[in-house]
Amino acid sequence: MFRIGEFARFTRVSVKMLRHYDEVGLLQPAEVDPETGYRRYTVDQLSRLNRIIILRDLGFGLAEIADLLTAADDDLDRVHAQREAALVEGLERMQAQLRAVRARREMLRDISPDDLPDVVIRPVDAMLVATLTGGAEDDVATLFYRLEAYVRDQHARAGRPPLMLLPEPDDDTVTVIVPITWLIPPGDGIQVQLLDAVPRMACAVHFGGYDGMAGLLQRMLYWLARTGERPAGPIREVYLRFGAEAELGLSSAFLTGARADLVTELQIPLRGEAEPVPGE
Q: What is the pLDDT of residues 135-150, one digit of tens each?
A: 878 999 999 999 999 9
CA–CA separation, 217 and 214 (whole Å): 5
Same-domain pairing of 137 and 37: no
C-alpha distances out from residue 143 to 27, 138, 146, 227, Å? 73, 7, 5, 36
CATH number at residue 37: 1.10.1660.10
Same-domain pairing of 118 and 43: no
Relative to beta strand 190-195, strand 120-124 is unpaired
Q: What's the whole-model pTM score?
A: 0.71
Which residue has better confidence, 258 or 228? 258
Q: Can you give 110-167 as a three-state secondary structure string?
A: HCCHHHCCCCEEEEECCEEEEEEEECCCCCHHHHHHHHHHHHHHCCCECCCCCEEECC
> 18 near 39, Cβ under 8 Å?
yes
Full domain range(s) for residue 247: 114-269
Same-domain pairing of 189 and 253: yes
CA–CA separation, 129 and 240 (whole Å): 16
Q: Is residue 208 part of a domain?
A: yes
What total of structural domains would you count in the chain?
A: 2
Residue 279 pLDDT greater than 70, yes or no? no
- Position 275 confidence tier, pLDDT thresholds 50, 70, 90: low
Residue 277 pLDDT greater than 90, yes or no? no
**Among 68, 90, 123, which residue terminates a domain?**
68
C-alpha distances out from residue 100 to 21, 50, 193, Å? 41, 39, 35
Same-domain pairing of 120 and 55: no
CA–CA separation, 143 and 133 (whole Å): 8
72-100 average pLDDT score: 89
- Per cent of the chain over pLDDT 90 is 70
CA–CA separation, 243 and 236 (whole Å): 18
Same-domain pairing of 136 and 224: yes
CA–CA separation, 222 and 241 (whole Å): 26
Q: Kind and range of the H or E element at 257?
A: none
- Position 98 confidence tier, pLDDT thresholds 50, 70, 90: confident
47: three-class secondary structure by DSSP = helix
